[in-house]
Structure 1
Amino acid sequence: MNKKGISMILGIIFTISLAGGVKGIKVKAETNNFTVDLSNQYRNVTHVASGSLYGLSDENKPSDDLLMPTKPNVFTQMAPNGGQLPNGEASPTGDALKVAEKAERSGAKINIRFPDMYKDFPYKWISLDDWNSKIDSIVDSTLASKAANIYAYELWNEPNWTWNAKTSGISFNEVWKKTYDRVKAKDSKTKILGPSISLYDEPWLKNFLTYCKENNCLPDIMCWHELGDAKGVIDVQYIEEHVKDYRNLEKSLGINNRQICIDEYGVTTEEAVPGSMIRYFSEFERAGVESACSAFWFRPGRLSNIITEDGNPNGGWWLYKWYGDMSGKMAMTTPVSQTSLNLDGMASVDSSKKTASVLFGGADGDNNILVKGFNSNKFFNNKVHVKVEEAPWYGVDTKLSQAKEVFEGNFNVVDGKINVPVTGMNKSFGYRMTITNKEGYINRYEAEEAVVNHANKFSNEGASNGQYIGQIDYKDSYVEFNVTAKDAGPYNMKIGYANGNSQVSSQKLYVNGDMQADVNYDSTAGWMSSGKSGTKDVQIKLKKGDNKIRFSNSQNGYAELDYIQLSKVAKTFKVRQEAENALINNATVNLSSYGSNDAFVGMINFGDSYVQYNMNVPEGGKYKLEVGYANGESSASTQNLSINGGENKVITFEKTGGWMASVPNMGYRKILNLSVDLKKGDNTIKFSKGNTGYVEQDYIEVTK
């Protein structure tokens, strides 16, 4: 049976109401395949990209308990006794020598940025004599400090646009040579880093390196920045290509390979966002970059915004912490795309701990993580335990006390590999997969491991665990899962399935022998054998301990089963919705790392402008409505709030001191709490332009 159906438009999410709380069919339009090769271990784990620019402010900021777990590699800090005033600080902060000891406690080195002796940026050159006195002061202070963790001297910063030969009366190359010689005469041991241009510019570098080779002043460590292209557009996907091109440039000029430091990376909208940062980590690791520091756009001492204003970890911190947890050898990964922004990640293998770790992110929807190369790592068993966690991004100043569990399950290693589908991903979130030999708690159950009657097991690389159950086509056909619940109560159950028919198919669902409902499966335009699949969400009640969940044929079409995944329903109803995913009229979606999910809605400035959220609640009554917003006006602004099309209520939003996408941003998003009456089921919550000022919308969160 299982006849193939006609194709349909995929990617639509919709909800149906049935007995037993069955709802939410999701069919995926496209599956992204991200590959990890555990057999290709290419370098030691050194946490290459875990440092930051101005990440340290003073001895107490950040606190050691937040700094240490991130295993920072290199910090780029202001020259000793410098004059730079990082954003929002009343006095210079982050003096390289004053924070060197703190960095050393965490295992990190310090790169000293010379031109931070100037208080202005862009720097205001005075004279060569003035510059020489600054050089002498920096090097003499460094030598006197006897700091043991100085990584390099950075002679200048972004000379491709901060150096003006006409106003200074001397070319940058000449100043480089004079500075290089003066520093080396005083300190021949500390390495020199440069030229630190703002983006990879091969013609500029060729001119610079040619001069340096001819004049015996080549930098010990090559440095440029990865802050997007010349227009500031994100181009992280080309970092490996930039490194390859640079190596070819070295070869063409007869220059031995230099270590590469990217001491500023990431554009403003990406700062600390896990799904964005993971792409940089991965590119740097695969390309063989020796060190990298995330850029400074906002405030110092917060490890480039992975710590909230009040000193707590946010979602970005958890990604850096997971990076710090990596040990052993880095294992090669293959991103979904080499030329576009999509799913990427990195992996490590620790043979002493018999563990593999995979960090990934940067894509929405349903994705497959293919892990191969187990055969070359003999310490892994034929069945491995997989745990997947996520680090949500709700904005720079939203605390995340703990990463969230996605699922745990046991996977059979077949032909040296496992395939792990991770559904419902968010491109701004970070994810960690931990692979061990232990068998313990699981909440993801594979259909091929269930009790199967009058149906058959099939194999396909795209299926979870590489196998699934099909031909569940007869009156006595069923698949019965034996599951263990930690607690009694309601559970969300995600069903991985395929329905190759052109119409909806259904199966009967039983929990502990009690009929729940017919579970309806939308068409996936193909069967598992052709890589087609979807997910369906169902809410069921389980007793504490052992439970039986059975799917049987209902004689209404056919469906194949891949897995089920269980998660306890929270005791308190709480739903968060992003403004950019709401119904928007005459307003714009903008990116900002200060926004929840890395985005917000602005320009709600016109008579017909509005943001309308659709919210489904389990019962009628009063709810707490939390609104994330920004009001950069000089006084309070208003918007009109309408619930379910009712009368407008004027809502006042106090000023926040700036707008969400401001640079530097001083934490401009604020929270407003309201009380609203909602009806059972679907509700509309509409914010429209008010009579006074303007307000940007970030998200709402409804709590019973």
Structure 2
Amino acid sequence: MKKLAVLLSGALLLTVFSVTPAPATAAVPASFTVDLANQYRPVTHVASGSLYGLAEEGRPADHLIAPTKPKMFTQMAPNGGQLPNGETTPIGDALKVAPIAERNGAQVTIRMPDIYPNFPYKWVGWDDWYKKVDSIVDARLKSGAKNIYGYELWNEPDGTWNTAAAGSFNEGWKKTYLRVKAKDKNTKIIGPSITNYNESWLRDFLTYARDNNVLPDIISWHELGAPEGEYLDGPAPQYISNHMKAYRALETELGIKHVPISINEYGVVSEQAVPGNMLRYIAEFERSDVDTANIAFWFRPGRLSNLITDTGAANGAWWMYKWYGDMSGQMAMTTPANPTALDLDGIASVDHTKQEADVVLGGGNGNRNVVVKGFQALPYFSGTAHVKVESTPWYGVDTAVSQPTNEFEGNFTIKNGQISVPVSNLKESSAYRLVITPGNQSSISRYEAENADVHGANVFNNVNASDSKYVGQIDNPDSYVQFKVNVPTAGNYRLNIGYANGTQAVSTQQLTVNNQANTTVQYPTTGGWLSEGNSNTAQTQISLQAGSNVLKLNKGTVGSAELDYIQLQPVGDFKVRVEAEDAKINDARVARSSFASNRQFVGNIDNSNSSVTFSVYAPKGGTYKMEVGYGNGTTGDSTQNISVNNQASTTITYPKTGGWIANIPNIGTRKIITVPVTLKQGENTIAFNKGTGYAELDYIEVK
């Protein structure tokens, strides 16, 4: 679908950060489950293709295409005239890009009506159409291409077919089908490519096609949202499995053979390529009987449907599709956290040759549990599984991501054929990968509390805990949990502590690192204990020596807390990113856009009292660089007034960006500006207030 619209994204403790807990009344989020024993079909990367994903040689580069393992691209007809979304550079037609697709392992669909220069298509007449059909088929036969998936006879006939000028679509389908088959009996015919799953429409079409012997070889429709085709901002992938079951029942009802299903466009505008959101679709397609699926085209061609930035680099979505491309062997069944709503979902595979299981998930927020079961079907796992967890963010279409982030690695005991892996602070827009191999590798960064030196406390079993165990009753003056950790290099590390605090107030513990002076760790209430499925993470920054280190958590002076695990991550240069939608917002509103970091931004900062106030921690006082993601759709410069810690404000000027953050098509309407900001050690507030003109805010990053 190609439509234009506008949418209204000695070690000394340095500091301790608190993580806001879930309300005490909040229900424990459901787990996402993987069944490694239920291997239901070979890995074929069903949903790895895209519409207009290829433009020409080098756009995109092969090193960006191949790792995503594309199965099929849909491209315009040979010598087509489409210049979609204001494009001025000709884009590659199906036969021109077929060699690119072939060397990268993909097939190509020829979208026949895209021989027209306009969308929606402007019908000329049947003689004109027949000439176009003949030229397309002749060019395909002359090319000798061996990787043509099929001819797509028309696109979105429920909205683009001119019945008044051309007659009924069913009759037009028959005429075109017979014209193509008269010249080319072997290449498959795809259709009807309607904009959404419409059973009554399909029943009428298939009944006519059956009775006239013109049934498609591959059935196709789009999955563009809520619940039946709201392509702008209404994601609804949870309906897809119902559509698949209903369609197969329809084939049976009509007495026609089951044919491959091609979802030739998926994903709504506001979630275009966003990793966590796309995973919901991929999971539904993989679990259903789908042969191919293409990411929809909304913005610019030749970018694998926005997996690649405007400068030809990988963005956060590309890494998720690369993880998908890395999968091999057999697909393993997954169960979404909430099958009837937009929530955490994903895909999994098992490769017996590599002795590895891969899980890729996303679309959920907060602290979630990943339950992986079925290890009894994998004889090379003998009691312990090593799990490496990575993440890839969504910072916007045109923000490059050089590599995924390593979240943690740890060994998990296989009990009753399964493990439980808590993953903390998930963002809906991000994607996460678990690489699971036989256990006991030395490379770990997550240390389970039950494996530490536990004194004056007790170990408990519970499926809600990391590795299904935790330490509780750390209640006596001499109670402690002491961890021995190893790090490759000396330096600053981020320490995440998995805990539960079932009291009604903040609890504390005392932390010492290598027997140096202790400091207080604060644990906000979690509204319940680990036995009830309640947990959260506290974060602190520590300095460690290369090699072995000892971290000790003693009972604090206030309240009580249970310990699940600790987790280490190198800090590197200081950098903190805060999304505008997570700031304190006054007289403005949060909006969604796939151009925005985390898919959200703040707009309508339009009135004298409108403001967006960020909270930023600084490890020491001084001047920092502050990167601001913004949109300025006015015709000139706009300004906002910035005050730090309620001091006198300064003015920041935003050059025009050519549009607003949610504009369509993608013309780079979110830009970045960097300004100096002076902060004190500890917590700071940075308030943005309306100045002259108008500007939207996406995020700030202080470093």
- Given that residues 86 and 92 in structure 1 are in contact (C-alpha distance below 8 angstroms), is that contact kept between their aligned partners in structure 2? no
Give the C-alpha shift of residue 328 in structure 1.
0.3
2:637 equivalent in structure 1: 636
Query: Structure 1 pair 425/264, CA: closer, same or farther in 2 (3 Å)?
Result: same
- Whether contact under 8 Å (2:337, 2:345) holds in the other structure is yes
Give the 3-state SS of the residue equivalent to 1:529 in structure 2: helix
Q: Deviations over 1:450-487 (max 9, x none)?
A: 12234322211111001112233334433221100222
Task: Say which of 478, 493, 497 aligns to 2:495.
Answer: 493
Distance in 1 separating the partners of 2:501 and 2:69: 47
Q: Hey, what does 2:15 align to over in structure 1?
A: 21
Residue 102 of structure 2 corresponds to 104
Instruction: Please tell me the residue identity of whatever aligns with 1:360.
Output: L
Inter-partner Cα distance in structure 1 for 2:501 and 2:305: 46
In the alignment, what sits opposite 1:118?
116
**Could you say which residue in structure 2 is the equivalent of 1:377?**
378
Unaligned runs of 5+ in 2: 1-11
Aligned counterpart in structure 1 of residue 537 of structure 2, from 535, 538, 542: 535
CA distance 1:530–1:408, change in 2 (3 Å): same
Deviations 1:357-380, CA, capped at 9 Å, x for gaps? 000011111000000000111122
Quick one: which amino acid aligns to residue 209 of structure 1?
L
Matched, 1:222 2:219: yes
In 2, are the aligned partners of 1:474 and 1:555 still within 8 Å (CA)?
Answer: no
On the 8 A contact 1:32/1:366 being kept in 2, the answer is: no
Q: CA RMSD in A?
A: 1.7
- How far does residue 665 in structure 1 lie from its aligned partner after superposition? 1.5
Structure 2 distance, partners of 1:516, 1:85, is: 65
2: CA distance, partners of 1:616 / 1:522: 18
SS in 2 for 1:32: coil
Q: Name the SS for the 2:641 alignment partner.
A: strand
- What is the distance in 2 between the residues matched to 1:207 and 1:389? 47
Contact 2:72 2:292 in 1 (8 A): yes
- Asked if the contact 2:18–2:523 (Cα under 8 Å) also holds between the matched residues in 1, the reply is no
Aligned AA (2:699): Y
Match of 1:548 in 2: 550
Residue 87 of structure 1: SS of its match in structure 2?
helix
Q: Does the Cα contact within 8 Å between 2:224 and 2:230 map onto a contact in 1?
A: no
Q: What is the CA distance between 1:679 and its match in structure 2?
A: 2.5
Give how far 1:19 is off.
Answer: 7.7
User: Per-residue displacement from partner, 1:643-675 (whole Å, max 9, x unpaired)?
Assistant: 333334333211111111111111211111112
C-alpha contact 2:13 2:541 (8 A) present in aligned 1: no
Secondary structure at 1:514's aligned position in 2? coil
Structure-1 residue corresponding to 2:79: 81
Query: Is residue 495–residue 569 contact of structure 2 (8 Å, CA) maintained in 1?
Result: yes
| Comparing 272-281 and 469-478, the one that deviates more | 469-478
Q: Secondary structure at the match of 2:84?
A: coil
Cα distance, 1:426–1:177 mapped onto 2, change above 3 Å:
same
What is the deviation of 1:554? 4.3
Aligned counterparts of 1:604 and 1:334: Cα–Cα separation in 2: 41
Q: Report the residue type matching 1:523 in the other structure.
A: T
Structure 1 residues 441-450 or 294-303, which shifts more?
A: 441-450
State the TM-score, normalizing by the size of structure 2: 0.94
> Which position in structure 2 is the counterpart of 1:661?
662
- 8 Å contact from structure 2 (residues 13, 543) kept in 1: no
**Range moving further from structure 2, 351-360 or 682-691:** 682-691
SS of residue matched to 1:101 = helix
SS at match of 1:99: helix
Counterparts in 2 of 1:198 and 1:441: CA distance versus 1, 3 Å? same
* Residue pair 1:355, 1:435 contacting (<8 A) in 2 also: yes
Q: Provide the TM-score with structure 1 as the length reference.
A: 0.94
Distance 1:72-1:540 versus aligned 2 partners, 3 A rule: same
Q: What's the CA shift for 1:488?
A: 1.8
Match of 2:567 among 555, 559, 565: 565
Mean Cα deviation higher: 543-552 or 144-153? 543-552
Q: Does the Cα contact within 8 Å between 1:447 and 1:562 map onto a contact in 2? A: yes
- Relative distance call for 1:651 and 1:475 in structure 2 (3 A) is closer
For 2:77, give the aligned amino acid. A
- Please give the alpha-carbon distance, in whole angstroms, between the structure 2 residues aligned to 1:663 and 1:191: 34
- After TM superposition, the structure 1 = structure 2 runs for residues 158-173 of structure 1, keeping only pairs within 5 Å, are 158-166=156-164, 168-173=165-170
1:99 Cα deviation from its structure 2 partner: 0.4
**AA aligned opposite 2:70:** P
2:455 equivalent to 1:453: yes
**Partner Cα separation in structure 2 for residue 521 and residue 633 of structure 1:** 46
CA distance in structure 2 between the partners assigned to 1:537 and 1:91 by the alignment:
49
Offset of 1:25 from its aligned partner? 4.3
Deviation string for 1:317-341 (max 9, x for gaps)?
0001000000000000000111110
Match of 1:301 in 2: 302
- Contact persistence 1:372–1:417 (CA under 8 A): yes
Alignment correspondent of 2:698: 698
What is the deviation of 1:496? 1.3
Contact conserved, 1:628 with 1:671, CA < 8 A, in 2?
Answer: yes
Between 1:517-526 and 1:128-137, the stretch displaced more is: 517-526
Are the structure 2 counterparts of residues 152 and 214 from structure 1 closer, same or farther at C-alpha, using a change threshold of 3 Å?
Answer: same
**Equivalent position of 1:179 in the other structure:** 176
Question: Residue type matched to 1:701 in 2?
Answer: E
**How far did residue 683 of structure 1 move?**
2.5
Structure 2 residue identity aligned to 1:148:
K
Alignment correspondent of 2:510: 508
Residue in structure 2 matched with residue 131 of structure 1 by the alignment: 129
Counterpart amino acid of residue 599 in structure 1: Q
Q: Sequence identity of aligned pairs in percent?
A: 57
Amino acid at match of 1:531: G
Quick one: structure 1 residues 307 and 415, their matched pair in 2 at CA, closer, same or farther if it must change by over 3 Å?
Answer: same
Q: Aligned-pair distance for 1:533?
A: 2.1
Inter-partner Cα distance in structure 1 for 2:187 and 2:201: 25
The one-character-per-residue Cα deviations of 1:478-535 (angstroms, maximum 9, x if unpaired) are: 3221100222222221111223334443333222223412433333333222222222
**Helix, strand or coil at the partner of 1:48:** coil
Contact kept, 8 Å, 1:20 with 1:517, in 2: the verdict is: no
- Distance in 2 (CA, whole Å) between partners of 1:309 and 1:493 is 36
- Match of 1:23, as an amino acid? F
Correspondence for 2:195: 198
Distance change in 2, residues 1:522/1:604 (3 Å)? closer
Q: For 2:677, what is the secondary structure of its paired residue? A: strand
Partner of 2:4: none
Kindly indicate whether residue 582 of structure 2 is the aligned counterpart of residue 581 of structure 1.
yes
- Matched to 2:210, the amino acid is K
Q: Which residue of 2 aligns with 1:14?
A: none
- Matched ranges for 1:597-608 at <5 A: 597-608=598-609
Q: Show CA shifts across 1:365-424 (max 9, x none).
A: 100000000011112231111000000110011110111010000111111000000001
Match of 1:421 in 2: 422
The alpha carbon displacement at 1:568 in A equals: 1.8
In structure 2, distance between residues paired with 1:25 and 1:82: 54
> C-alpha offsets along residues 340-360 of structure 1, whole Å, 9 cap, x if unaligned?
100000100000100000000
| Residue pair 2:465, 2:564 contacting (<8 A) in 1 also | yes
Judge conservation of contact 2:30–2:338 (CA < 8 Å) in 1.
no
Name stretches of at least 5 consecutive residues in structure 1 with no aligned partner.
Answer: 1-17
CA distance change for structure 1 residues 603 and 21 in 2, over 3 Å: closer, same or farther? Answer: closer
> For 2:539 and 2:685, how far apart are their aligned partners in 1?
23
Deviations along 1:178-224, one digit per CA (max 9) or x if unpaired, are 00011111111110000000011111111111111111111110100
SS in 2 for 1:298: coil
Moved over 6 A (4+): none
Spell out, residue by residue over 1:120-139, the C-alpha distance to the aligned partner (whole angstroms, 9 max, x if none): 00000110111000000000
SS of the counterpart of 1:339?
A: coil
Closer/same/farther in 2, CA of residues 214 and 409 from structure 1, 3 Å limit: same
Q: Distance in 2 between matches of 1:402 and 1:396?
A: 15
| Matching of residue 353 in structure 1 with residue 354 in structure 2 | yes
State the AA in 1 paired with 2:641: N
Matched-pair contact (CA < 8 Å) for 2:501–2:527: yes
**C-alpha spacing 1:663/1:466, structure 2 compared with 1 (3 Å):** same
1:213 to 210, 213, 218: 210
Hey, what does 1:5 align to over in structure 2? Answer: none
Say how many residue pairs are matched. 683
Letter in 2 for 1:508: Q
Q: Residue 462 of structure 2 aligns to which amino acid in structure 1?
A: N
Report Cα offsets for 1:532-553 as digits up to 9, x if no partner: 2222222222211001112233
Structure-2 separation of matches of 1:409 and 1:636: 51
